[in-house]
Structure 1
């Protein structure tokens, strides 16, 4: 149950951090609004709560002397995934800070950026945090307060990562992956796509044979032509020799 619990918690963290990244992309776009900023704040705090829970659970499991060798290998793999997730979260939080500074909501004539994002982003955050119909009250000082909180939280995430590395000595390069690179993509290929690929390959093979036959025919014609020219030159030379004698 320990490993299953860790996997479940890590999966929840992955979903929330992915949601946060999706929301960050909308900053400064036509989808930017006070609701978006509030959703970003709620989502990143939810991610930090899950991160703290994951860190506590994984740290306890890795420091447990009774953990079997096989279980420790699995916990180390989860730890590496967790660390990578935290790195991405910190990067997105810093990006959110920069965009929030460049595109303050209180400036009505700001220049929007073309992100391709349109419409409301509330549903995305709601699905990630299991909350429906998220609505927030207006706050005239939302920019200043939120950016100040965001700076503080970025520092907290950085310190959390430093403490993680000090408490648990896990070398990422020493952890072996359970699947080969690209295994996820291969497993997602449908049978129909595979059939189409096979059909395409089968269709291409006769074309290659036909091309080979054409090349072989061209080579034979060239050889005959060269041989005929040689015979003609030999005949002319023979006639000249006979005439001169």
Structure 2
């Protein structure tokens, strides 16, 4: 009887489960950072725009780029593994779709910040839109970057050439993210419309029993309007009956007196 080395199989399974858990943690972190960046990007050009906000955008952008590079390498290496079980491959494909979607949103927001920064320069704060908002997104950025605090002393004057240097750096980073998105589509062929989400949040909304209950609820919701409809029907029926009765009486009178 051949001997089966179960230890090797168990170690392989545990390793792939750990890889899946690490991928989920990385994607969740990226989603939070991208959401933070979107929140900060909405403040560019407004009354809360400042040098500190631009620095928070830079830090958040750098954190998102590091996460994106790590996730891309992690998911690419596992999705190209032919020995990956079907169930784990489906989970990895779900992570890939969530990752690519977040990366595209991040790219859109980076382009937005780049264009808004060209219109609203910090060197001329008079052009900022007076939205009436107060405060910034330091607390949000601190949570996204896993830092205790981001409160910084903003310099009184804008350093010379800082904005132009920042815009040049940001333009390069936008190109890098754009290139990463293209490389992802070339390395891994995951069709988004073929990836089916599953889990409690994607469960069937209604069973056969629930459908019957929904039908009863729909009937109950329509009941308040039924008495009015019934009165209208009764009124029409009585009116037709009265017209028919009058017509019959006139016809009978014509027959009797003719």
- Range into which the TM-score falls when normalised by the shorter chain: 0.7 to 0.9
- 1:64-79 correspondence to structure 2 within 5 Å: 64-79=81-96
What secondary structure sits across from 1:48 in the alignment? Answer: helix
What is the CA-CA distance between 1:145 and the residue it aligns to? 1.8
> Which residue of the partner structure matches residue 180 of structure 2?
160
> Does 2:51 align with 1:34?
yes
For structure 1, the 5+ residue unaligned runs are 187-196
Contact kept in structure 2, 1:28 and 1:113, CA below 8 Å? no
Describe the superposition over 1:209-230 as per-residue Cα deviations: whole angstroms up to 9, x where unpaired: 3134213321221122212320
Separation in 2, partners of 1:31, 1:144: 21
The whole-number CA distance in structure 1 between the counterparts of 2:199 and 2:229 is: 41
State how far apart, in whole Å, the 2-side matches of 1:58 and 1:49 are.
Answer: 14
TM-score by length of 2: 0.79
Cα displacement string for residues 153-195 of structure 1 (whole angstroms, at most 9, x for unaligned residues)? 0011111112222222222222222259x849x7xxxxxxxxx
Shift in Å, 1:66: 2.5
* CA distance 1:118–1:201, shift in 2 (3 Å): farther
Q: How does 1:16-55 map to 2 (within 5 A)?
A: 16-55=33-72
Say which SS state the counterpart of residue 79 (structure 1) adopts. Answer: helix
Contact 1:31–1:121 (CA under 8 A) maintained in structure 2:
no
Q: Quote the Cα distance in structure 1 between the aligned partners of 2:89 and 2:153.
A: 44
TM-superposed deviation, 1:15: 0.2
2:230 is aligned to 213
Give me the whole-angstrom Cα distance separating, in 1, the residues matched to 2:247 and 2:148. 90
Cα distance in 1 for partners of 2:23, 2:36 equals 20
Bigger drift between 8-17 and 215-224 goes to 215-224
TM-score normalised over the length of structure 1 = 0.82
- Partner Cα separation in structure 2 for residue 78 and residue 117 of structure 1: 36
> Equivalent of 2:109, from 92, 99, 102?
92
1:71 is displaced (CA, Å) by 1.2
- 5 Å-filtered alignment, 1:140-151, equals 140=159, 141-151=161-171
**Alpha-carbon distance in 2 for matches of 1:205, 1:162:** 53
- Please say if 1:61 is aligned against 2:78: yes
